[in-house]
């Protein structure tokens, strides 16, 4: 039996940029410029802009994601947002982004609890993993990513619902290539995508590890995206600063659509 093709996903992480008044117009412009049915398009604005973006994207085919979620279902957590609060506003959620690991000291165990909350409420998580420059230079890149996956996914896989695993997306984001001027190569990212799927196999997914989309995230631009999408093991990108620019997102999604059509024509995913 032929395995289903992995989707090509382009997700834009707006980080802490834009007001609600600006967000709806920008989201609508991006959706109009990226109307490619063969690509899953996701925009992740700040929390305060989720409603405006959801309204602007209604019926466009572009989906909405949150940038984070709390690890608890509810409670005395001032300033935090639970998964149940996101239902109806977002269908995706970024979990474990390197900036939150760095600035909020998020551990793999905490990230794992957030994955469970996403699963409970039908949010599709984009789990971010990746090594620092020091870890890469010490030859620990693969070990770091393996550890992050094992530390975060244990609870989801043991509780797990088949559907929870089927919704999982992994974003490999080398911390040393985010806003530093240093660039990972397509080959670097493809090798780490292999590490991701080998680790998922070891965690018990076996042949289903090949079905999990792996995105690249690390200063992605329209000029650089082709190198990453040329790698059969990569299935799209988690885009940072470039996702705030209509022309950049249009170029990135257009290239992703070429990849999606080529893979559909070949009828395989690697």
Catalytic-role residue among 36, 63, 106, 173 = 173
Assess if residue 3 is contained within a domain. Answer: no
CA distances from 149 to 22, 69, 111, 171, 175 (A): 36, 18, 10, 11, 16
17 C-beta neighbours (distance < 10 Å), count? 16
Assess if residue 1 is contained within a domain. Answer: no
Catalytic-role residue among 36, 63, 70, 97 = 97
Assess if residue 95 is contained within a domain. Answer: yes
Q: In which domain, by residue range, is 44 found?
A: 8-265
Nearest to 260 by CA among 28, 20, 39: 39
Assess if residue 270 is contained within a domain. Answer: no
Question: Is 231 in the active site?
Answer: no
pLDDT score recorded for residue 164? 54
User: Rounded to whole angstroms, how far apart are CA atoms 143 and 268?
Assistant: 29
pLDDT score recorded for residue 269? 54
Q: State the Cα angle at 219 between 214 and 221, rounded to 5°.
A: 90
Structural domain count of the chain: 1
CA distances from 202 to 63, 147, 221 (A): 32, 12, 33
Assess if residue 220 is contained within a domain. Answer: yes
The 3-state DSSP class for residue 66 equals strand
Assess if residue 2 is contained within a domain. Answer: no
Instruction: Please state the pTM of the whole predicted model.
Output: 0.95
Assess if residue 30 is contained within a domain. Answer: yes
Assess if residue 176 is contained within a domain. Answer: yes
pLDDT score recorded for residue 162? 47
pLDDT tens across the length of the chain (270 residues): 456 789 999 999 999 999 999 999 999 999 999 999 999 999 999 999 999 999 999 999 999 999 999 999 999 999 999 999 999 999 999 999 999 999 999 999 999 999 999 999 999 999 999 999 999 999 999 999 999 999 999 877 765 544 456 789 999 999 988 777 777 999 999 999 999 999 999 998 888 899 999 999 988 999 999 999 999 999 999 999 999 999 999 999 999 999 999 999 887 555
Question: Is 162 in the active site?
Answer: no
Residue 187 belongs to a domain with what CATH number?
3.20.20.70
């Amino acid at each position: 039996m032929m395995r289903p093709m992995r989707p090509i996903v382009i997700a834009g992480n707006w980080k802490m940029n834009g007001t609600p008044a600006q967000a709806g117009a920008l989201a609508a412009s991006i959706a109009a410029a990226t109307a490619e049915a063969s690509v899953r398009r996701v925009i992740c604005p700040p929390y305060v802009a989720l409603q405006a973006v959801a309204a602007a994207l209604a019926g466009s085919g572009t989906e909405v994601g949150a940038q984070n979620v709390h690890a608890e279902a509810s409670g005395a957590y001032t300033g935090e947002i639970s998964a149940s609060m996101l239902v109806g506003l977002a269908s995706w959620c970024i979990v474990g982004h390197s900036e939150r690991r760095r600035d909020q000291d998020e551990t793999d165990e905490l990230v794992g609890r957030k994955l469970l909350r996403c699963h409970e409420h039908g949010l599709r998580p984009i789990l971010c993993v990746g090594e620092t420059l020091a870890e890469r230079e010490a030859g620990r890149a693969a070990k770091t990513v393996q550890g992050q996956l094992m530390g975060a996914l244990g609870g989801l896989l043991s509780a797990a619902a088949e559907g929870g695993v089927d919704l999982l997306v992994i974003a490999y984001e080398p911390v040393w290539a985010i806003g530093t001027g240093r660039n990972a190569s397509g080959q670097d990212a493809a090798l780490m995508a292999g590490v991701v799927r080998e680790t998922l196999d070891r965690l018990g997914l076996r042949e289903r590890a090949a079905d999990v989309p792996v995105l690249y995230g690390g200063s992605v631009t329209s000029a650089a995206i082709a190198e990453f999408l040329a790698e059969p093991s990569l299935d799209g990108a988690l885009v940072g600063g470039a996702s705030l620019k209509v022309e950049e997102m249009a170029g990135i999604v257009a290239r992703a659509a070429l990849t999606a059509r080529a893979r559909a024509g070949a009828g395989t995913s690697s």
